[in-house]
Chain A
Amino acid sequence: MRLFLTQSSVFYFSLTWILTTLFIGTGVGVAQYENYQEQVPGSNAMLPMVYIEAGTFKMGSQKSEKGHFGDEGPQHTASIDGFWMGQFEITWDLYNLFVSREIDGNQVIKTTSNEAQVNVDAVSGATTPYVEMSFGMGIDNYPAICMTQLAAVKFCEWLSAMTGNFYRLPTEAEWEYACRAGSETAYSFGDDSSQLIDYAWYGENSNEKYQKVGTKKPNPLGLYDMHGNVAEWTLDQYIPTAYRKRNKSVINPLEEGEKIYPKVVRGGSWMDNPNRLRSAARRPSSKKWKRRDPQIPKSKWWHTDAPFVGFRVVRPLKTPSDQEQKKYWKYELTD
């Protein structure tokens, strides 16, 4: 993996820099795209992004894996294009910038060279929740939770509008590819769940709350908290039989679906048993995650009963067209 840049890397990050490295990359046959830190204009908030090079991996798990669920099979080969992924789960510090929308005036002035052309005024905003959504578990450097998938998607659109770079949620396949980081074991560090204590916050060590991001060991790609802390939203519709319908080898799989529920969350959380933290473990979202929302219609933006769900963002190397970008951000659905 590439050297991880220091904070000053943000100054090097520009389109010119990207293009330059892109040429070098294709030239030598080894990806040269580097990690960088995205800075949200108008704030001090930094978002370190790790480059994950294109490749193929075995998605899902075999029946022989301890804790295997039926929806994880059959294992199949997935090829994934290159992308950057957030090194950490999105924190409240970042997420609240999207909720409060007070820094929107600082969005980058877009030129044709920007990946994303969307204007921040066009991005719909999450409502202020009536109840306090961190449940007293902490804000500074703690992961944001309780957002709906729609809200996470809209955060990506907002972040794109603010920075001019195209961000979206990871597909389920991208997420697992990044989580595995080349491993074929139950966890990115092997099969021994007793080692989880070094890598993850989960039911047995979390003290019944989420913990600050990046305080356990990272995976081989430098990504923190892929196992545990908060479970993470992906783009995919949850279809338990999805893998059965796939060919032995697929390219950039994504289960598109119009239904709000269930979507896939990955990685397990501070509330979970080790089993749920496995690289292949999939979990469906549910309408019940809004069970205690006292309002009708229930909020499009908040899951009152999901203090275990958060997300991280990705930025694909190959920028989709404006039209395709909208597809990743649309989800103007209500329930």
Chain B
Amino acid sequence: MNNKNKKQKNESRRAFVQKTAMATGALLTLPMGVEGMARVNGNQKLKLALVGCGGRGSGAAVQAIIADENVELVAMADAFGDRIERSLKGIQDYFDGEKKINVKEKNRFVGFDAYKKAIDLADVVILTTPPGFRPYHFEYAIANDKHVFMEKPVATDPVGIRKVLATAKIAKEKKLNVVVGLQRHYQSKYIDLKNRIDAGEIGKIRSGQVYWNDAGVWVKKRKPGQSELEYQMRNWYYFNWLCGDHILEQHIHNIDVANWFIGDYPVSAQGMGGRQVRNGKDHGEIFDHHFVEFTYASGAVISSQCRHIPGTMSRVDEVFQGTRGNIETSKGQITDLEGILQYKYSKKEANYDTASNVNEDPNPYQVEHDKLFASIRSGGVISDAENGAKSTLSAILGRMATYTGKKITFDQALNSKLHLMPSEVTWDSVPPSLPDINGNYPIPTPGKTKFI
């Protein structure tokens, strides 16, 4: 099949998929033979494209190259050329001549539409831009039959979530592998604890506390000559259309563990939050703390707290109380209802002893790619996108609860018309949030901010 035919076929399938999804939302049936496109012969070279060339994307590219002997990084895309050059140098420096990494200059694509050009050249794509873009990039990658590694969160608004869910179904049907960077699912300790929960070691989970409390992350100052859009793109952590707030961007890991261990998604959420300390003009529109109560169908309640305030108690952890015992993930331990230790995960997570690698756990960030490429080679299908979308939505639900001060249900969130991320962004686009004449952005206010 030549490229032109392939493209036409893809387009018609996409149209078909969209119609079907809109009309019924039912499971899709696809034309025969589609799965063949996704399959890769044993040792055939796999071409890799990196879309979003920040530190995490560059790290993921390195892990992909390590994961499989016959992977070649052929294309890179970013909104900014300097990010691509820095990323490529970082990847080259990492391999230090051990592997030749050379992306042709003509295959380094800059701009908002760069992702399409890079994805077109690849078999496997890494999607690591700020999360707001993810649904659109994921949709394009799957429409064009690419295997995907994408970072969490997978969207910043429900419109994006619905797109990811629809695309996840298509990916499954096409037997395309999709790994989402919720790396606790690929971390030995968490897998071990999850197996123990499923084996009934703590009974049924009734409550839990999940935390991402620390000092916060980087801030990029506004530079003279920057357009508002460029400034927001550089300082993206602080703008909801791009980032979704830290309850989404970081704390999703812990909320996702709650969902995973309970085996369900929350039915509703209510909570509180605000910006007490990190509230300058450089800090866009996001909160610096959220405290949310998630209620599950079983009646289990999870308290979720995330805080970005220096000098306060730091904790990144997940703790659960079951009908027979308790579990604390950071310590990797299970206690009974009297608090007596029943089990302790014993492998060392940190490699201290450089002389011997005894008891060393594998690096979960590497495992993600090891599994992805092994699955591609063996014709398997990893389908992380649906959970990625639903855990992302859980965090969005939490954000909706703290921003509005109302109790919101999962279904309300799923069907919400909130549309933060423009469907298309160009350098002429006006960002969805703009500062007032004093340089301050509109801040969500509980009781006033409406649920949309």
Could you list which residues of chain A lie within 8 angstroms of chain B, going by C-beta atoms?
96, 99-100, 102, 127-128, 130-132, 134-136, 139, 208, 262, 269, 271-272, 284, 286, 288-289, 291-298, 305-308, 334-335
Q: What's the Cα separation between A262 and B317 when bound, in Å?
A: 32
Q: What's the Cα separation between A306 and B212 when bound, in Å?
A: 20
In the complex, the 7 A-B pairs of residues with the closest C-beta atoms, listed nearest first: A295-B55, A296-B58, A132-B214, A297-B90, A296-B59, A286-B354, A132-B316
Chain A interface SS verdict (over half): loop
Q: What's the Cα separation between A288 and B351 when bound, in Å?
A: 7
Chain B interface SS verdict (over half): mixed
Interface string of B204-219 (1 = CB under 8 A from A): 0000000011111110
Stretch in B7-15, B307-315, B386-394 touching the partner: B307-315
**With A132-B316, A289-B351 in contact, do A296 and B215 touch (Cβ < 8 Å)?**
no
A96 in contact with B310 (CB, 8 Å): yes
Interface centre among A134, A294, A296, A335, by most B CB within 10 Å? A296
Q: Which of A139, A292, A334 contacts B365, CB < 8 Å?
A: A292
Q: Which chain A residues border B56 with CB–CB below 8 Å?
A: 294-295
A128 in contact with B217 (CB, 8 Å): yes
30 contacts between A and B (CB under 8 A): A96-B310, A127-B218, A128-B215, A128-B217, A128-B218, A131-B214, A131-B316, A132-B213, A132-B215, A132-B315, A135-B330, A136-B314, A136-B315, A136-B330, A262-B354, A271-B348, A271-B350, A292-B363, A292-B364, A292-B365, A294-B56, A294-B60, A295-B59, A296-B91, A297-B55, A297-B58, A297-B94, A298-B59, A305-B349, A334-B93
Q: What's the Cα separation between A288 and B90 when bound, in Å?
A: 17
**With A132-B214, A136-B317 in contact, do A294 and B59 touch (Cβ < 8 Å)?**
yes
Q: Which chain B residues border A295 with CB–CB below 8 Å?
A: 54-56, 58-59
Q: Which chain B residues border A130 with CB–CB below 8 Å?
A: 217, 250
Min CB gap B229→A, angstroms = 25
Q: Which chain B residues border A262 with CB–CB below 8 Å?
A: 354
Q: What's the Cα separation between A99 and B218 when bound, in Å?
A: 12
Q: State the interface size on chain B (CB cutoff 8 A).
A: 40
CB-nearest residue of chain B to A130 = B217
Q: Which chain B residues border A284 with CB–CB below 8 Å?
A: 354
Q: In B330-356, which residues have CB < 8 Å from any A CB?
A: 330-331, 348-352, 354
Counted as pairs of residues, one from A and one from B, with CB atoms less than 8 Å apart, the total is 88
Min CB gap B129→A, angstroms = 15
B303 interface hit (Cβ, 8 Å) = no
Q: What's the Cα separation between A102 and B310 when bound, in Å?
A: 11
Q: Which chain B residues border A102 with CB–CB below 8 Å?
A: 310
Min CB gap B135→A, angstroms = 22
CB-nearest residue of chain B to A292 = B363
B313 in contact with A139 (CB, 8 Å): yes
Min CB gap B283→A, angstroms = 13
B62 interface hit (Cβ, 8 Å) = yes
Q: What's the Cα separation between A180 and B61 when bound, in Å?
A: 48
Q: What's the Cα separation between A208 and B333 when bound, in Å?
A: 12
Q: Which chain B residues border A131 with CB–CB below 8 Å?
A: 214, 316
B270 interface hit (Cβ, 8 Å) = no
Q: Which chain B residues border A289 with CB–CB below 8 Å?
A: 351
CB-nearest residue of chain B to A269 = B352
